[in-house]
Each structure stands twice: as C-alpha cells, then as structure tokens.
Structure 1
C-alpha cells in the first residue's frame, strides 16, 4: 500500500494594504527609520514601505496587529493619519490650503517689498534695503514654488535648487553693497528705520503663520518656509539695529545687521541646495 501524498498547503490570502499620511518627515533617512520601527513591531520588511516623495506609509497587516504597529511607529515622533480606503493620498504640497498660504506669502511679500525698498532709500538704511530685497526675492521665489506644485518631485527639486542659488547670489550682493556703504555711508534715520522694520515684522508674521503646518516636506516646501522664516528674523534684527543707531548715533549697527541678513541668506541657500540634491538623488 503506497503512502498517500501530502496535501498542498493553501496559501494565506494576501492582506489588503493600509495607508497612512506621515507628517514631520524630511527625507529618505526618515522614511527608513519609520520602516525599521514597523519591522520592529513584527511587520515583514517587504510588507511596509514609506515614500519620501509622497509622505505615505503603506503596510500589509491584519487589523488586530495595527494598534501595536501604530504605537511603534508613533514612538518615532512623526505624525500618522490613516487614509480611508478610496481616499486620495495626495502629497502635502498639493493641499489646497498650501496653495492659499503661498498666495498670501506672494501678495504680502511683493507688496511690502516695494514699500520697504522706498523706505530704505528714504531712511538711508542698508539693513532696510537688504530686508526689502529679501521680501521681493521671497515673493518671487514663492511664486515659482506655486507654479511648481503640480510638477514631479525631480522638477520640484530643480525648482528648489534655483531658489537656493538665487538666495546665495542675493546674499553675496548684500555683502558687496554693505562693504561699499561702510566706507561711504552716514548714519540712517533711526526713526524711519524702526518704523518700517516694525511694519515689516508684522507683515512677515502674517505671512509665516499660514506656512507653519507646511514647514516639513520636500525640498521645495522647505525652501518656501526658509525664505519666510528668514524675513521674520531679519525684520526683528532691523528693529534692534534701529534702536542701536538711535542710541549710538552710528551707522555700524545698520551695516552689521545687513551683513547678518546676508549671512542668513547664504546659510539658507546651502540648506535649500543640499535638500534639493537629496531629493534628486532619491529620484
């Protein structure tokens, strides 16, 4: 009597994918960290994928295992929001609220940039002129970011690269004109300088607030955030410089702040270019 052949083992049905929007991540390294956290909770390496481009985590796990997995990935410090079946998982940069925030930034920065440029010449302040250039550059580059919303990650990264180079050139230009003014300048009108600086600070706070929730994202989103953040820091510095000019009766506080704003330009330029290169390597 022959031995009966073993019955073939039925394969377990494939688990449906579960998707989550991830907030707070910046790059592929963050995506890998989240994947490792999920794997530590028992998810197979081929059953979890976090996209640095779309900020979406896709995993295959049973509903019974999800609470433990969610707790493990939440411990990484990033935010997770489950995407309902059939719901669009559009990246954060395609959020309509982000478009509205960008339009607010464009209108406020271009409009007040022109006003502050006139005020800088009127007050004879190099710091105000540098800040006005920052306003105008911010508005122009944010408009480029608005155009780039529908582009692929690679082209958005190239857009951010242009923004970074532009910001670097702007910083070098401010340094050159400030050095020239150091040999030929007279103390600016402190009252006008402080007034325009205070108004600029209020305008920038109004522009930065809508962008706070979008400061994490791809290189293009981070570039827009850095431009707006720079403006607010520069405005506060201009107000302080105006007080020192009034107190000391010297042009040096004005020139020093202009150089500091230029240094902030160069630092952010490097950050934007670095992030853009990382996104391009990822593609």
Structure 2
C-alpha cells in the first residue's frame, strides 16, 4: 500500500476537506485519508497507482502538488472520540444557523448589506457542518446532490445580495443603521468566540474540529470588520463602508459556492 503525500495550500477549512473527500470517494483502491489542515497537508493511503490520485487533487485548483510517495503497511490511527467531535460540530452548526436567521433579519431591517452578507457566511458554514454530519455513510451520489443544492442556494442568495448592492450604488440611497450593525456584529462576535472556545475545549485531534477552529477564527475577523465599517458609516455619514464590506463577504460566499457546484458535477 502506498502513502501519497500532498501539499495543498488552498486547504484550510471544513469546506475544502469535504470537497477533497467527495472528490476522492469511490476511487478504487483508496484505503484512508489523513488530513493536516494546519500544515495544509494530505496523506492518501492507496493500493493503486499514484496517477489515479494526483490528477484529481490538481483538478480542485487548490494548488495541490505531490510531495512524496512511500510504501507503508499500516493505516493511520483513527481512535479519536468521534462522539465528542460530533457534539462540538452540532453546537457550532446550531450557533451558525441561529445567527444566519438573526443577522439576515437584522440586516434587512437595518439596511446593512454587511450584516446580510455575514448571515450568508454563517449559512455557508452551517451547510458545510450539516452536510458533514448528515452524509456520513451516504452514497457519493447523494452527497454530491446535497452539495450541489447547498452550493446553488448560497450562490443564489449571494447573487441577490450583490444585485442589491449594485442597486444601492447606482441610485437607491439607503443609509444603514450603524447602531444595529455594531450591536448585532458584537453579538455574532461573541457567538463565534463561544464556538471557538467550545472547539478548543474539546481538545479533539480530529482534523474537522481543527478546521472548524480556523474557519471560526476567520468569522471573528469578519465580525470585527463589520463593527469597524459600522463605525465608519457613523464617522463618514456614508453607506459606502457597509457596501464595500458586504461586497467582499458576498464575494467570499460566491467563491465557495462555485467550488462546491463544480465538484458536484
């Protein structure tokens, strides 16, 4: 059996891990996958040819490249307590789902595109965690179908958000309520900090939990950015900071959705 080691610079979140798993599932001779999200590394344990795996990794456009191939006799140790990981992921999923609804409502009521965009980022994370938890043991075709649905949903919502940004830039003046932006973003910041604390407290060595920590840390940065944009809206008396923040986050959601859709085909 071969241990095929890859360095994948674009792999740092649960979404990338899920994409890679779905891409490689069903490959004949595949024995196990060992992810190192911190080091952006993937070890593939495969009884077939390297040529069966490398093109699939490269097709994901994450910058993956082959580092080393060696012969091994044993698979990686997978004795982690998956029940603990599941509980933590369920907690993070619920927090993201609740704040998706809350931020979406607050965003539209306050006129803040930054909050609306962040709500979609919360939705994207919740869909990734939900897919990971629900699809265990499911057929590859079913996983790809669910991934496609979630990808198209994210893409449609993000596209509507970007059109609303364009509508406001080209004529419709809506001044966002900076107080709501700041208050709701602070609450979301607290929620993401709680998620990060729970994931760290679990002390799980599972790569999915480690990846969730990375993505939650990124969410904290986005929340802080919206708080800053709310302050800039107040200071400048302009909606532009909110529209810029919303556009950036919408773009991140679109980018993630397109990658998922491509994989599901």
Please indicate the TM-score interval, normalised by the length of the shorter structure: 0.5 to 0.7
State whether structure 2 residue 260 is matched by structure 1 residue 272: yes
Q: What is the rounded CA distance, in whole Å, between the counterparts of 1:170 and 1:257 in structure 2?
A: 16
Query: Could you say which residue in structure 2 is the equivalent of 1:23?
Result: 35
Decide whether aligned partners of structure 1 residues 111 and 162 sit closer, same or farther in structure 2, where only a CA change above 3 A counts: same
The one of 73, 82, 86 equivalent to 1:99 is 86
Per the alignment, in what secondary structure is the counterpart of residue 184 of structure 1? coil
Decide whether aligned partners of structure 1 residues 178 and 226 sit closer, same or farther in structure 2, where only a CA change above 3 A counts: farther
The one of 133, 144, 151 equivalent to 2:138 is 151
Greater length-normalized contact order (CA 8 Å, ≥ 6 residues apart):
2
Displacement of 1:152 after TM fit?
A: 4.1
State whether structure 2 residue 179 is matched by structure 1 residue 167: no
The one of 172, 178, 185 equivalent to 1:197 is 185
The one of 120, 130, 138 equivalent to 1:133 is 120
Which ranges in structure 2 are unaligned for 5 or more consecutive residues?
A: 1-30, 45-52, 58-63
Decide whether aligned partners of structure 1 residues 180 and 21 sit closer, same or farther in structure 2, where only a CA change above 3 A counts: closer
The one of 236, 243, 249 equivalent to 2:237 is 249
Deviation string, structure 1 residues 26-75 (Cα, Å, up to 9, x no partner): 47448995761x2xxxx4xxxx4xxxxxxxxxx27xxxxxxxxxxxxxxx
Displacement of 1:176 after TM fit?
A: 1.0
The root-mean-square deviation of aligned C-alpha atoms, in Å, is 3.9
Displacement of 1:177 after TM fit?
A: 1.6
TM-score of the two chains, using structure 1 as the length reference: 0.59
Query: Could you say which residue in structure 2 is the equivalent of 1:185?
Result: 173
Work out whether residues 170 and 265 of structure 1, in 8 Å CA contact, stay in contact via their aligned partners in 2.
no
* Aligned positions of 1:27-46 closer than 5 A: 28-29=53-54, 33=66, 36=69, 38=70, 43=71
Per the alignment, in what secondary structure is the counterpart of residue 238 of structure 2? coil
Q: How many residues align?
A: 209
Larger radius of gyration: 1
Displacement of 1:141 after TM fit?
A: 5.1
Decide whether aligned partners of structure 1 residues 20 and 149 sit closer, same or farther in structure 2, where only a CA change above 3 A counts: closer
Which ranges in structure 1 are unaligned for 5 or more consecutive residues?
A: 1-18, 49-58, 61-80, 84-88
